[in-house]
Amino acid sequence: MERRNKYERKDFKPRRESKDEMIFGVRAVIEAIKAGRGFNKILIQKGMDKELFLELKEELKGHHFQLQFVPSEKLNSLTENNHQGVIAIVSPITYYKIEDVVDELLEQDKKPFILALDRITDIRNFGAIARTAECEGVDAILIPSKGSAQVTADAMKTSAGALNRIKVCKAESFKDSLFYIQQSGLRLVACTEKANSPLYQTNLQGSVCVIMGSEMDGITSDLLNLADIHCRIPMRGEIASLNVSVAAGMVMYEKLRQELYS
């Protein structure tokens, strides 16, 4: 029996992002930006009407939304309405600035616990990490504004509501944000299989920011160089690495264990 490409099947329908709220149309998106709405990304049609684009571009100044320039077919697959060449995917939460969060925690005389996720792209991993983070007392999660999983309806579901309870911060420059955290008195702890020191011998008590790397290639070298401490999770098996959500859970639990029972 001949196998047909899924795009050639009559019953095939393109995946729609209907589970996430969308705003379409230039005027509607502009008004949403003025109202302070947060977006995971804004899809803009390649070669859209120049006058409309210039109007939207002017409103986007000073914002750091993720922009994607896509063919009209992509936009048409998301909505049958008149999108005028632009669709904004609304974030279900409000993103925070990590500088504001750290400053507020320090002013309250707290010892911040930040979790920095370097290019975690799988929504289910992100949601699972957020769920554990809320359980283990993490104050905020830091993610890059680009090249990272965002807070979507799927992430909210996987987190079991934790993303409504924990502050998520976007960073235009991930390294600069980590440097700010470091200069604020938090130790940067990089969890990597390249480290020599095992997790259970690493002091995680007090003000720390734990960095977890991407599913594909771990923590980038410039962030490893910036980190104050490197640690690894001991393993006996032959598989080289753990799922990042599992690894993150182990690190967060170890911090809590040290502070409660050491």
Q: Is residue 248 part of a domain?
A: yes
Report the CATH number at residue 36: 3.30.1330.30
Q: In terms of domains, do 44 and 144 share one? A: no
* pLDDT tens digits, 137-164: 999 999 998 889 989 888 999 999 999 9
Q: For a pLDDT cut of 70, what percent of the chain falls above it?
A: 92
Question: Of 59, 74, 90, which one is at a domain's C-terminal end?
Answer: 90
Together in a domain, 141 and 183? yes
The boundaries of the domain holding residue 234 are 98-261
- Is residue 116 in a domain? yes
Q: How many domains does the chain have?
A: 2
pLDDT by residue (tens digit) across 52-90?
Answer: 788 888 888 878 788 889 998 999 998 888 898 899 998
Same-domain pairing of 160 and 42? no
Q: Which of 41-45, 103-107, 165-169, 180-184 has the lowest mean pLDDT?
A: 41-45
pLDDT of residue 14: 38
In this model, does residue 1 exceed pLDDT 90? no
The one-letter amino acid at 184? S
Q: Does one domain contain both 130 and 226?
A: yes
pLDDT at position 114 over 50: yes
Residue 39 lies in a domain: yes
Q: Which one is predicted more confidently, 130 or 72? A: 130
- What's the confidence (pLDDT) of residue 19? 56
User: What own/partner pairs with CB < 8 Å and gap ≥ 24 does 143-147 have?
Assistant: 143/116, 143/117, 143/168, 143/169, 143/170, 143/171, 144/118, 144/119, 144/170, 144/171, 144/174, 145/64, 145/66, 145/170, 145/171, 145/172, 146/66, 147/119, 147/121
Q: Which of 60, 90, 120 is the last residue of a domain?
A: 90
**Domain termination site, one of 73, 90, 107:** 90
Domain identity same for 175 and 237: yes
Q: 188 or 57, which is more confident? A: 188
Do 121 and 49 reside in the same domain of the chain? no
DSSP 8-state code for residue 137? T
Whether residues 252 and 138 share a domain: the answer is yes
